Amino acid sequence: MIKNSSLQTTLNNSINFSGISLHKGIVSNLKIKPAEEDTGIIFKRIDKNYNNIIRANYNFVSDTMMCTKLSNEYNLSISTVEHLMAAFIGFGIDNALVEVDCSELPILDGSSSNYIQAFKKMGLKYLKGQRKVIQVLKKISINENDRYISIEPYDNLKINIEIQHDCELINSQSYSFELLDETFENYLMNARTYGFKEDASMLIKKGLALGASESNALIFDGNSVINYGGLRYHNEPVRHKVLDCLGDIFMAGYRINGMVNGYKSGHELNNKLMHALFSNNENWCFKKYQKPKIQNHDNTEEKIAAIA
């Protein structure tokens, strides 16, 4: 699988997925279809007959509470899109039509693994159009209380995230990820969304996490993991935060060349960063895609709090 191509890509054929949605707890069915060059990623609510197209773009992000939610101008929405968006950019898919029969994508196992495994079986189709990349030209920063995120010029996409939790099993974790051939599959795709058992009743009262279970989320109970089999990575929570960030960054509509540094950041700051980046044309430009040089990318111990 060579995703780092100068040509745009899509899937060879359609793929179906079905499962429980994380927050609404309903059965969600989706079909990912190939799309023509310059289409980008588009969602289509097939349970609605009219005004049912929702483009995957940072301008259409309408909510960032516990997930990324997209809405069109007719107030039709699709939620929890970040894991699929991460799988698209992680596998190198530029164009796709995603048909879904309800307002939230299935959570599957809580990671991007199911998507990637299906993409590998189906394979990529290379299109005639040249792949364009957004090059970051200036450093952009967002600071909110003790949270921080920034993006600065870099010749590929690199994401450095640090998280902090009171849970002793997590405490302070940091992870540095660079998007290269197969790095998403090798280092990131299995990282599951995570939560804390003590927060369950509060989330349910808010109408969230109604479909959450040990089969689709990493659940901490005090200072232990209740999932059978435990952690998939020793630092699975921070890797999932990087996965989420990758999906949210792809809301730019194109791949981005830039280095992201985040401290206790999440969907809200990820989206605010995209708005800040594109608020001024001097912050970025389009360039032709060039395959990045292979570097050491699996730095699990790098601390970035000092950068924050």
Cα separation, 173 vs 302, whole angstroms = 9
pLDDT at 302 over 70: no
Is 297 assigned a catalytic role? no
pLDDT at 272 over 90: yes
Beta strands, E only, 224-306 = 224-225, 255-263, 284-288
Q: Where are the domains of the chain?
A: 7-131, 133-288
Q: What is the pLDDT of residue 295?
A: 59
Where residue 23 falls among pLDDT bands split at 50, 70, 90?
confident
User: Of residues 171 and 100, which shows the higher confidence score?
Assistant: 100
Q: For residue range 71-91, list pLDDT tens digits in order.
A: 999 999 999 999 999 999 999
In the structure encoding, which two tokens stand for residue 165, read together? 């939790």
Share of the chain above pLDDT 70, in %: 93
Mean pLDDT score, 99-117: 97
In the structure encoding, which two tokens stand for residue 107, read together? 């959570």
CB 201 within 8 A of CB 215: no
Q: CATH second-level architecture of 7-131?
A: 2-Layer Sandwich (3.30)
Residue 266: Cβ-neighbour burial (10 angstroms; 0-12, 13-18, 19+): buried
pLDDT mean across residues, the chain: 92
C-alpha radius of gyration, the chain, whole number: 18
Predicted model pTM? 0.93
Q: For residue range 198-230, list pLDDT tens digits in order.
A: 887 787 677 776 788 888 999 999 888 999 999
Residue pointed to by tokens 């997925």: 17
List the one residue out of 220, 245, 240 whose CA is nearest residue 112.
240
Catalytic residue among 23, 267, 275, 297: 267
133-288 maps to CATH 3.30.1700.10: yes
Cα separation, 217 vs 195, whole angstroms = 7
Q: For residue range 131-172, list pLDDT tens digits in order.
A: 999 999 999 999 999 999 999 999 999 999 999 998 888 989
